[in-house]
Amino acid sequence: MTFDRITSDPAILGGAPCIKGTRISVAMILEWIASGAESTQITTAYPHLTTEDVTQAVHYAARFLQNEVIITAEVRE
Per-residue pLDDT tens digits for 7-51: 999 999 999 999 999 999 999 999 999 999 999 999 999 999 999
Domain residue limits, the chain:
6-66
CATH number given to 6-66 = 1.10.10.10
The model carries a pTM of 0.80
- Which tops the pLDDT comparison, 63 or 71? 63
- AA identity, residue 33: I
Q: How does DSSP assign 1-54, residue by residue?
A: ---TTEE--TTSGGG--EETTSS-BHHHHHHHHHTT--HHHHHHHSTTS-HHHH
- Looking at residue 58, its pLDDT comes to 95
